Amino acid sequence: MLEFTKALILLEFMAVSGVHGYGRGAPVGQCDNMTPGHYGADIRTADGTEPIHIITAKQHYSAGEEIEVEIKTKPGTAGTTFKGFMLQARTSSGTRVGTFSVNEVDNLQLLDCENVPGTSVTHTNLLSTTTGIRATWRAPGQSEGNVTLIATVVKTRLDVYTGVKSAALYFNEKNLSSGGESGQDGNSNGNRTDGNISCNGTTCNISGNITTGNNSSSNGSGNDGGDDGNGAQVLCLSLFCSCLLFVVALGLV
């Protein structure tokens, strides 16, 4: 009788969690093939007709950028839910890239595949028939080519989809050039305001603002005004001499 009772308990346990059912999330031993060991499960490879998909907030990534990722049921599939999952980001060659962060309140946890922290996401306990989960993927610090978010999704213990994929994310190389577009050739602006000149007998008065040109630096930023003072003195002297010559020419001296 005791042995019969033990057998019933074992069968009940298998019915709830399955052999290697991973009711508390996928183990790191499944990092490579992402396939659960559910006893008797119908494991199907996603072909686009599955009622669950992966959505990313962007279609491209930059170095170190954080992008929100969702596994959710497709529109028009009312009543569809799932209980478990495993999520990774992979290159076209199958290499895991980037890391994830999650909100633990949502019954999610990170896995350290090959001792690299946060390279996968899974559930902590069997999800209570959810219609979607959300995580944040942080891109690597350099281009890894096209990257795809890929997941195994457990609808029920006996109904599993592998290879559920997002659209591929392409690398978006940022424009790293600094400074404006103008001024890169070191163009000089030589605008001058000479002011007003009036002469009375032997005296000449110079009034108004005198402005020397501003030189753009080669990277398009900053003005070179270091010689403004000397330039103004030379201009004043030149104008004074011109005024004297003008007076001499009129025969006033």
Cα gap 121→109, rounded to integer Å: 6
pLDDT at residue 6 in the model: 42
φ, ψ of residue 133 to 5 degrees: the values are -130, 165
More confident position, 228 or 239: 239
| Contact indicator for 54, 113 with CB cutoff of 8 Å | no
Across the chain, the runs of DSSP E, i.e. the strands, are 42-45, 52-56, 60-61, 66-73, 84-91, 99-101, 108-111, 120-123, 132-138, 147-156, 159-165, 170-171, 188-189, 196-200, 203-207, 214-216, 223-224
Domain ranges of the chain: 22-171, 188-224+233-250
Quickly tell me which residue has 């690398």 as its tokens.
Answer: 171
Name, of 129-133, 148-152, 190-194, the range with top average pLDDT. 148-152
pLDDT at residue 13 in the model: 39
| Contact indicator for 71, 86 with CB cutoff of 8 Å | no
Please name which of 212, 215, 211 lies closest in space to residue 224, comparing C-alpha atoms: 215
Please name which of 205, 201, 225 lies closest in space to residue 214, comparing C-alpha atoms: 225
pLDDT at residue 52 in the model: 96
Token pair of 222 as six digits: 């900053």
Q: What is the pLDDT of residues 18-39, one digit of tens each?
A: 334 456 677 778 899 998 876 6
Query: Cα-Cα-Cα-Cα dihedral of 13, 158, 122, 17, to 10°?
Result: 0
Tell me the whole-structure pTM to 2 decimals: 0.61
Mean of all residue pLDDT scores within the chain: 73
Q: How many residues does the chain have?
A: 253
The neighbouring-strand residues paired with 53 are: 72
Name, of 11-15, 107-111, 122-126, the range with top average pLDDT. 107-111
Q: Which has the minimum average pLDDT: 10-19, 45-54, 96-105?
A: 10-19
pLDDT at residue 157 in the model: 82
Q: What is the pLDDT of residues 54-97, one digit of tens each?
A: 999 999 999 999 999 999 999 999 889 999 999 999 999 999 99
CATH assignment of 22-171, among 2.60.40.770, 3.30.390.30, 2.40.10.120, 2.60.40.4060: 2.60.40.4060
pLDDT at residue 23 in the model: 60
Cα gap 150→121, rounded to integer Å: 11
